Amino acid sequence: MRPLKVLATALALSLLAAPAFAEARPAKPPAAAKAGKKAQSKPDAAKREARILEALKKEGVDEARAKRVIAVMKKYRTEREPVQAEMKKHREALQKLNQSNSTDENAYKAAIDGMDAQRTKLAEIQKRQVTEIRGILKPSEQAKVLRLMNKAKHGKGAKKNSAKKTSHGAA
């Protein structure tokens, strides 16, 4: 029973690494870029889906299952986005309270409670996503996806960063 729990936990954690597939975006885009954001988001989503599909196929997941996994990820991404936006509002409100040294305990409580509620919603969405993906993939494919996610999260960048750290330490 323990290996099953470990596999389920590992799969859940690996799916949390899914944003590693997403392209890096600037923290705050210029106003002109914000205006054209809606038109630009569709090609980015298509590129992201193509990269994920290619990576899954490269790991040996057949194309039909890979496309089903991508569809599930897309479905839950649209469900997650409003929750993440709401969480961002609460986080920004909390930052403003901290910066202004506010003494309004009710405002602090509301911001923290709001963040906790959104965090709980995100965890529930993630759990449903993992359950649905596990229903699509065979255990061997789940292991391949797990390896892929770990590689994406810790792979090539870790070697570059460790080389930089050692060069700084020697100087």
Residue 110 and residue 86 in contact, taking contact as beta carbons nearer than 8 Å? no
Backbone angles phi, psi at 105, to 5 degrees: -65, -35
Q: At 122, is the pLDDT very low, low, confident or very high (cuts 50, 70, 90)?
A: very high
The C-alpha atoms of residue 10 and residue 13 are separated, in whole angstroms, by 5
The separation between CA 171 and the C-alpha centre of its own chain, rounded to angstroms, equals: 36
- Mean of pLDDT over the chain: 76
Rounded to two decimals, the pTM is: 0.59
- CA nearest to 142, candidates 51, 69, 73, 80: 69
- Helices H, strands E: what count in the chain? 7, 0
Q: What is the mean pLDDT of residues 35-56?
A: 72
Q: Using pLDDT thresholds of 50, 70 and 90, give the confidence band for residue 144.
A: confident
Return the SS3 of 30. coil
For 76-115, the pLDDT digits (tens) are: 999 999 999 999 999 999 999 999 988 889 999 999 999 9
Which one, of 82, 92, 74, lies nearest residue 22 by Cα? 74
* Closest C-alpha to 59, from 162, 160, 155, 128: 155
More confident residue, 98 or 27: 98
Between CA 74 and CA 52 the distance in angstroms is 11
Domains in the chain with CATH codes: 43-142 (1.20.120)
Q: Tokens at residue 136, please?
A: 């699509």
Instruction: For the chain, report the end-to-end CA distance as a whole number of angstroms.
Output: 50
